[in-house]
């Protein structure tokens, strides 16, 4: 009704203004109003002179009305002192926190806490308690802890040992004398100024310091202890001993003063991720290498209850450590350079997973990196293909993977172009400028290379897997997949589908279907970013399966929508977790069947031996009937 009325009014107005007489009258009234407005604002004389010289009046939009006083909003106005004068210069901004990832002050003596409460002696205790130094919004309701120095002092007093002065044990007497000689009897050591600074905690009691003060996993205590001593030795030689001559052999214990030095230099200035990064890497490098992880995984094997059964299997302990480290590099080091940077640590969940495995008793519940069942699946698959037991997978071995599901063309590309986990990461293979001067042999796949391959093959929904297979299919290396490259891979698939008796899908139909699912930015070619779009997370691997994995492509064409819905709603976070669970159960059942078969063979052999023994005794050839043991 309202719309109809508006239309009729517009038609009436158009008809009314269509009359020439009415239009001229309206324009005359408008000109008169403009002249009167100009006369009122600028004065009669100015307006008359403007009209006399033939200049048109100013446009109403150009006439500016200047207020008597400009009011500045409060958030733009300069602060004033008690007399109302502006403060020049303005006050300094508040001091930033040392670290934005902690809810308490991380300085040694509570410097930030003291600065935040400076000049607030008259404030109520409640207001001081609510003014937390943390950026975490939940920290305002928490009671602030004492500074790190007091916490460390209490812990060293509780767990530590004071150096003895006179004891019967000569070893302790020598340790106490060495601590006083190297630390107290020199004026250059600012961290040991009293006997209390010489209280030390031995390695076997350092776990609480590692977990409660440093916020590292418990099994980090031994590598952390050794790192503290190494850094202190370097500091002592350069700054206390003067750096001349041979380095002195300092006592191998962490004192309160040494921990004070470590906290001020390696802990207080950094957040959790940076602390973790600096602890793992070598002090003279700015990245983490593969070897940097081994001490921590070794301590995990010795400490975790879920890995206790591996204590008598040193070989499998080593293989488990290699598997965990390789999986870490697979997920964190996406550029596959073999060097993990601080930025990559921040973008990953590595620190939180380390904390999780420290608190979780069931190692298999930590599916990221540490699951023993996942290691079992990876190693058994490698072992099944490595028939000659030389820990090398050849092209012929890899063709047997997944019941010969891969085409020979993609296998060749895996050996020739696929990313390798630690290729060129050894400093010995680089020149002075960091350029790679030698590469790992590509005639075979090592166990680490096979882990990269298998993780990428069984889960094509993650970013590294997409880049892995994109590199393999991009034959000309121009970072684009064109129709010619995809057609050459699919031609092999067509031949295999015909030989296996499957329905043949023409290349044009397959490509049209995949383009509809991926929705690339350019219809002429595909780039990596097309596969990494949010809507492609579950379908990015379908194109790769269509190009080189005939079994998975046939399953994709014959998929059941009901089963696909169940798969999306199950408990597994990734396709790899789902595959590893299914394959582990298969391998476990096969192992049980082999054990049962072996037991049956043992029983048959025992029965045959008993029958032979009865015949031997019946002939009177057995001699004494007593048992030989």
Average of pLDDT values for 115-131?
45
The per-residue pLDDT for range 399-449, each reduced to its tens digit, is 999 999 999 999 999 999 999 888 755 544 555 555 554 456 688 999 999
Neighbours of 156 (CB within 10 A): 23
Q: Spell out the residues 6+ positions from residue 255 whose beta carbon is closer than 8 angstroms to its own.
A: 179, 183, 192, 197, 198, 199, 200
pLDDT at 478 over 90: yes
Q: Cis omega before residue 608 (within 30°)? A: no
Give the angle subtended at the CA of 308 by the CAs of 281 and 207, to the nearest 5°: 50
Across 143-147, 400-404, 588-592, least confident range:
143-147
Here the tokens at position 301 are: 């094997």
Other CB atoms within a 10 A radius of the CB of residue 599 amount to 10
Q: What pLDDT is stored for residue 245 in this prediction?
A: 53
The pLDDT > 90 percentage for the chain reads 49
Q: Residue 624: is its pLDDT beyond 60?
A: no
Cα separation, 370 vs 375, whole angstroms: 8
Predicted structure pTM score: 0.74
For the chain, the 3-state helix, strand and coil shares in percent, each to the nearest 5, are 60, 5, 40
For 329-358, the pLDDT digits (tens) are 999 998 888 999 999 999 999 999 999 999
Residue range 299-324, pLDDT digits in tens: 999 999 999 999 889 999 999 999 99
Residue 77: exposed, middle, or buried by beta-carbon count in 10 A (0-12, 13-18, 19+)?
Answer: exposed
Question: What average pLDDT does range 581-597 have in this prediction?
Answer: 90
Cα distance between residue 209 and residue 221, in whole Å: 8
Q: pLDDT (tens digit, 9 = 90+) per residue, 458-472? A: 999 889 999 999 999
Higher pLDDT, 405 or 185: 405
Given a cut of 80, whether residue 16 has pLDDT beyond it is no
Rounded Cα gap, residues 406 and 357, in angstroms: 35
Tens digits of per-residue pLDDT, 352-404? 999 999 999 999 999 999 999 999 999 999 999 999 999 999 999 999 999 99
**Mean pLDDT comparison of 43-57, 91-105, 206-220, 557-571, highest-scoring range:** 206-220
Q: For residue 76, name the pLDDT band (cuts at 50, 70, 90).
A: very low
Between CA 598 and CA 610 the distance in angstroms is 19
Residue 544 has pLDDT above 80, yes or no: yes
Is pLDDT at 580 greater than 90 in this prediction?
A: yes
- Statement: residue 540 has pLDDT above 50: yes
- What pairing do the DSSP bridges indicate for beta strands 481-482 and 525-526? antiparallel
Whether 179 has a pLDDT exceeding 90, the answer reads no
User: Residue 213: is its pLDDT beyond 50?
Assistant: yes
């Amino acid at each position: 009704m309202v719309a109809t009325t508006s239309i009729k009014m517009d038609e009436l107005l158009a008809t009314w203004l269509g009359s020439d007489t009415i239009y001229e009258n309206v324009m005359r009234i408008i000109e008169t109003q403009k002249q009167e407005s100009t006369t009122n604002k600028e004065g009669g004389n100015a307006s008359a002179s403007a009209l006399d010289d033939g200049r048109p009046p100013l446009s109403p939009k150009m006439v500016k009305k200047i207020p008597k006083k400009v009011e500045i909003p409060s958030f733009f106005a300069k602060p004033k002192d008690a007399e109302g004068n502006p403060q020049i210069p303005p006050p300094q901004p508040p001091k930033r926190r040392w670290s934005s990832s902690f809810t308490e002050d991380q300085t040694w003596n509570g410097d930030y806490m003291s600065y935040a409460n400076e000049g607030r002696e008259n404030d109520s205790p409640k207001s001081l308690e609510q003014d937390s130094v943390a950026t975490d919004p939940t920290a305002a309701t928490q009671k602030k802890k004492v500074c790190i120095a007091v916490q460390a002092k209490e812990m060293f007093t509780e767990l530590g040992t004071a150096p003895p002065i006179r004891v019967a044990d000569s070893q302790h007497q020598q340790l106490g004398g060495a601590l006083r000689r190297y630390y107290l009897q020199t004026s250059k050591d600012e961290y040991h100024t009293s006997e209390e600074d010489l209280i030390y905690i031995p390695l076997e009691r350092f776990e609480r310091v590692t977990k409660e003060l440093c916020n590292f996993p418990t099994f980090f205590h031994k590598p952390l202890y050794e790192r503290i001593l190494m850094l202190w030795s370097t500091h002592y030689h350069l700054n206390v001993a003067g750096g001349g001559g041979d380095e002195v052999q300092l006592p191998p214990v962490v004192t309160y003063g040494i921990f004070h030095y470590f906290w001020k230099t390696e802990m207080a200035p950094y957040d959790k991720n940076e602390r973790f990064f600096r602890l793992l890497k070598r002090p003279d490098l700015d990245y983490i290498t593969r070897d940097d992880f081994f001490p921590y995984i070794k301590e995990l094997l010795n400490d975790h209850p879920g890995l206790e059964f591996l204590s008598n299997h040193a070989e499998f302990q080593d293989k488990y450590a290699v598997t965990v480290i390789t999986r870490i590099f697979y997920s964190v080091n996406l550029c596959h350079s073999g060097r993990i940077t601080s930025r990559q640590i921040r973008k990953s969940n590595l620190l939180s997973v380390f904390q999780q495995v420290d608190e979780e008793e069931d190692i298999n519940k930590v599916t990221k990196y540490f699951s023993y069942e996942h290691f079992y699946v990876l190693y058994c698959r490698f072992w099944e293909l490595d028939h000659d037991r030389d820990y090398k997978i050849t092209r012929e071995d890899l063709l047997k993977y997944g019941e010969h599901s891969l085409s020979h063309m993609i296998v060749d590309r895996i050996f020739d172009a696929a990313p390798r986990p630690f290729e060129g990461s050894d400093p010995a293979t680089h020149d002075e400028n960091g350029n790679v001067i030698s590469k790992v042999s590509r005639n075979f796949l090592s166990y680490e290379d096979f882990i990269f391959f298998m993780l990428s093959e069984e889960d094509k929904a993650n970013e590294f897997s997409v880049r892995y297979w994109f590199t393999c299919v991009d034959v000309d290396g121009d970072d684009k997949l064109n129709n010619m490259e995809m057609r050459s891979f699919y031609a092999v698939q067509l031949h295999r589908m015909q030989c296996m008796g499957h329905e043949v899908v023409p290349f044009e139909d397959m490509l049209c279907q995949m383009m509809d699912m991926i929705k690339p930015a350019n219809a002429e070619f595909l780039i990596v970013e097309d596969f990494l779009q949010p809507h492609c997370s579950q379908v990015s691997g379908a194109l790769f399966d269509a190009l080189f994995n005939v079994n998975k492509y046939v399953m994709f064409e014959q998929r059941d929508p009901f089963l696909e819905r169940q798969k999306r709603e199950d408990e597994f976070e990734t396709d790899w977790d789902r595959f590893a669970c299914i394959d582990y159960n298969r391998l476990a059942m096969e192992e049980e069947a082999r054990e049962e078969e072996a037991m049956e063979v043992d029983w048959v052999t025992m029965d045959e031996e008993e029958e032979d023994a009865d015949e031997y005794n019946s002939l009177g050839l057995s001699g004494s009937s007593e048992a030989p043991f």
